[in-house]
Each structure stands twice: as C-alpha cells, then as structure tokens.
Amino acid sequence: MSDQHDSKEYEFLADDPKVKVLPIMLSLIIGAFFAILNETLLNIALTTLMKEFSITLPTVQWMATGFMLVMAVVIPISAILLQWFTTRQLFLGTMTVFTIGTIICATAINFPILLFGRLIQAVGTGLLLPIIFNVFLLIYPPHKRGKIMGIIGLVIMFAPAIGPTLSGIIVQYLGWRYLFISVIPFALFSILFAWKYLINVSEVTKPKIDVISIIYSTIGFGALVYGFSSAGESEAGFYSPSVYLTIFVSIIALILFSLRQFKLDDPVMNLRVFKYPMYTHSVFMFVIIIMAMFASEIILPIYMQGSLALSAATAGLILLPGSILNGAMSPFMGHMFDKFGPRVLMIPATSVLAGTMFMMSRLTTDSPLWMIVVGYILLMLSVSAIMMPAETNGLNQLPKHLYPHGTAVMTTLQPVAGAIGVSVFVSIMNARQLHFLTNANNPEHPDTIDQAMVAGVELVYLIAFAIAIIAVILALFVYRATPLNLEDK
C-alpha cells in the first residue's frame, strides 16, 4: 500500500469517488477506541495493584498521574510530527508504540516495569487523537464534519464510560494482567487493518524543528500537570513548596514557549490559531466543559460514597447512564450541527448545563438517587451538544496548514484541564469541609462529617454554576464558522 494519495482533482478525499473513506475511518476509530479505553481501564484496579506489588497509594497513583504527564508532554509536539511523517507512518508508528507498551504492562514482573509500560502506552495514546482529528479535517469538507466529529465524540466518551465497569469484571474474574492482555489482539488488528487500508492524506513539509521550543514545551506542560496533580495528592495542597514552585516554573516555561512561537517561521505549536475568533471561542468553551465535567466526575463519586454511604460499584452504575447517553447522542448532535449550525445547539445546551450545576449545588445528605441520575444525564447530554460542535466549529475556521496546530492545542488542553480540574475542585471541597468542621460544635460526629462534605459539594457546584453562566454568555456570540485566510506570518 502506497503512502501517497495522488489525486489532486478533489480538495477533500470524501468528495473523491475513487477513495474508500470508510476503511480509513475504521482504521483510525478502532485504534482510538482501545487506546482511549485504556485510559480508564486501570483506575478500578489500583487497589489490586497496591496489594500485588506491596506499594502505597501515592506510588500507585503514578499509573494515572504519569499517564497524564506523558500525554501533556507529547501532544504539543504532534503538530510538528504531522508535518514530518505521512499519515500511515505516524498512525502505524503510534499504534506500534502503544502495543509495545501494552505488552510490557501485561508481562511486568514488578511495579517499575509496569509503570514504564504504562508511560509507553501514554506516548501512543497522546499522539493518536491529534492524528485522528487532523485526518478527518483533511478528509471531510466543513459542512460534513459535524457528524464525523460526533462519531469521534462517541468513541472518546463511550470508551472511558465503559472502562471502569469492564475493568471491574476483568479484574474480578481474570486478574489485572488481562486488562492489558485483552487489549493486545485489538491493537494488533488495528495495525494490520490500517496497514491494508490507510492511505496518506496529509502533506509532508518537514519544517525545521526548534529544539528549544520542545524543551520549553516539555517543562511547561509537564510541570503544570505534575504540579496540579501533586496538589490533589498532597495534604498541604497548593501550600506545599513542591507544588507551587513546580507550577511557577511551568508558567515561566510556557510564557517563554509562547513568546518563542511567534518569532519562529516554523513554530512547534502555531499559536496564531488564536487569531481566528471562533477557534478562540471554541477553546474557551472546551475548557469550561472539561471543568464542568470534572466537577461531577470527581466530586459526585466522593459525595455518593461519603455522605450517601454507597459502594463504589453502585456509584459507578449511577453515573453510567449519563456517560453512555453522552456517547450515543454525540453523532446525533454532530448531524444537528451540520444541519442547523452551532447556535441552535449551544444556547439551549449551555442553559441546561447552568441549570444542572445549580440543581447539583442543592444536594443534601438525604438527596434521592434519582436526582443524581437525572442531574448527571442532563449534564452529559448538554456536554454532548456543546463540546464536539464547539470544537468542530472552531477548527472549521482554520486554513488547512493550521489544522495540525489547531488539533494540537485542543488535545493538549484535555490532560492539562483535567489535572487542573481535579486538583482545584478537590482542594475547594476539602477547604470548605475543613472550615465547616472547624466551626462545628461536634466535628467528630458522623452526621457533622457528612454535612461538611455536603457543604464542600455545594461550594464546588456553585462555582461550576458560575463557570456555566460564562458558557451561556459565550454561546450567545457563536456563529457558524467558515475557513478564513488571515495572514498568519
């Protein structure tokens, strides 16, 4: 199979009757599904790994923290890689790296080897999403992208949703190694399928690589994720010197990185994408949605297992309908975006999001479970109507040569916003709990402890409500984006 696609008659491959687009899509989606599934597949097995390798919680948490850290380091350089290698080379290489990491994890004889394999997996996973977004932007014209990006949204949301449930079954009946063994055949199938059907759709320009920018990027994004992740794990939180000094270093490195990008003819991450108003708009919406999701995905399980005294399995099942509906509705929302544009979706969806956040701030120690189920379903449905349409609309405004950079910025924000969201919301909740208990008459009584947790949850959701109101205001200014040819040098 040749790496090159020779037809120049059609601007987008989806319009070329000679090109079989479906096998290309399937090649990418199969690989993406199992790589993204792998992100949450391990979460429920952390306790098992602690017993297996006789390690502590802070140590085993590096399976999650290290994964996000590596992703934050490799994603920013994806834009330059997309211009140095063909689509086939990059996808096959990425899936091979991911598969090697999975095999290392499956055969690990101790925790350091397991962690090493996990970090290799993260390299593959981190590069995969920018490749997929970029390829679909090149294959499909703007008026057809909503439905296609909706299908990607289904994969991105459905895979993590079933991860914990699937993981629990595998760990209980087969053992933790099968979390990796079961992925290997599908990863190999993805490689073989792509080898046969995937063609190159991007232009290889081989721009100059600026090593200093990569160093700044690695330090900046890596230290940012590490700093905020450490804040969530440390008792001192943001007051720990190792936390605030790391975050300070990351901010300095990111400022130097950003300034340098505007001076380079071939930037590693072209920040001129922010000259395009709907792209900038989509980035703000994307971050707000990520923060709102983490307010629920992190805080709700803590609340349900604490104040409501539910088991972890029950808490997971309560959240499952919302997560599945989010993935299932994503293609439909994409189709609606193609047909009606972003305003019809985003204005009502952001209003529902704000209302849901306010409803969640009214949770008490005896709130009925149906209220949580309905609230989470409304949250995830509103997310499906906002996140992928906003992202698609923003990317639609970019000219072709900025697609790799636009997708790199978007996908970099995911682990960064995730790490920040976890640490900030957990820190806010813990601080509110501590303040409540300090002023309570009987701080050690179980009822008082439950009320303190509810007070923390209330404050988190009130802040999330305020953030959602910003999203409502932003939605009022959205319009259907078309490619702009601004001067970007």
The tens digit of pLDDT for each residue in 376-407 reads 899 989 988 888 888 888 888 888 888 888 88
Same domain, 130 and 233: no
Same domain, 324 and 286: yes
* Residue 218, amino acid: T
* Domain-embedded: residue 41: yes
* Domain-embedded: residue 106: yes
Percent of the chain's residues with pLDDT above 70: 90
What confidence score (pLDDT) does residue 281 get? 92
Cα 2 from Cα 16, distance rounded (Å): 17
Q: Which two tokens stand for residue 142?
A: 């703007």
Residue ranges in 174-311 assigned as alpha helix (H):
178-181, 184-197, 211-233, 241-261, 277-306
Among 242, 265, 288, the domain boundary falls at 265
Same domain, 201 and 251: no
Write down the residue that tokens 């720990």 correspond to. Answer: 240
Number of domains in the chain: 3
The residue-averaged pLDDT of 402-418 equals 81
Same domain, 432 and 408: yes
Same domain, 214 and 312: no
Same domain, 186 and 250: no
* Domain-embedded: residue 4: no
Q: Which two tokens stand for residue 56?
A: 């502590």
pLDDT at 54 over 80: yes
What confidence score (pLDDT) does residue 237 get? 67
What confidence score (pLDDT) does residue 248 get? 92
Cα 42 from Cα 53, distance rounded (Å): 15
* Domain-embedded: residue 5: no
pLDDT at 211 over 80: yes
Helix %, strand %, coil % of the chain (to 5): 80, 0, 20
Same domain, 317 and 374: yes
* Domain-embedded: residue 489: no
* Residue 203, amino acid: E
Contact 91, 144 (CB under 8 A): no
* Domain-embedded: residue 37: yes
Same domain, 224 and 283: no
Burial class (CB in 10 A: 0-12, 13-18, 19+), 263: exposed
* Residue 188, amino acid: L
- Kindly report, residue by residue over 308-342, the tens digit of the pLDDT: 877 766 777 787 888 788 878 888 888 888 888 88
Same domain, 291 and 174: no
The residue-averaged pLDDT of 73-80 equals 81
What confidence score (pLDDT) does residue 354 get? 93
Same domain, 395 and 410: yes
What confidence score (pLDDT) does residue 7 get? 46
Q: Which residue range forms the structural domain that includes residue 405?
A: 272-482
Contact 406, 418 (CB under 8 A): no
Q: Which two tokens stand for residue 297?
A: 């995905």
Q: Which two tokens stand for residue 77?
A: 């350089």
What confidence score (pLDDT) does residue 63 get? 80
What confidence score (pLDDT) does residue 9 get? 52
Contact 303, 457 (CB under 8 A): yes
Largest alpha-carbon pair distance within the chain?
A: 77
Distances from the Cα of 141 to the Cαs of 3, 38, 338, 392, in angstroms?
22, 31, 11, 11
* Domain-embedded: residue 430: yes
Q: What is the CATH number of the domain that holds 100?
A: 1.20.1250.20
| CA nearest neighbour of 410 among 75, 148, 86 | 75
Q: Which of 37-41, 47-51, 177-181, 444-448 has the highest mean pLDDT?
A: 177-181
Same domain, 281 and 261: no
For residue 122, the surrounding DSSP H or E stretch is helix 111-139
Indicate the pLDDT class of residue 256, thresholds 50, 70 and 90: very high
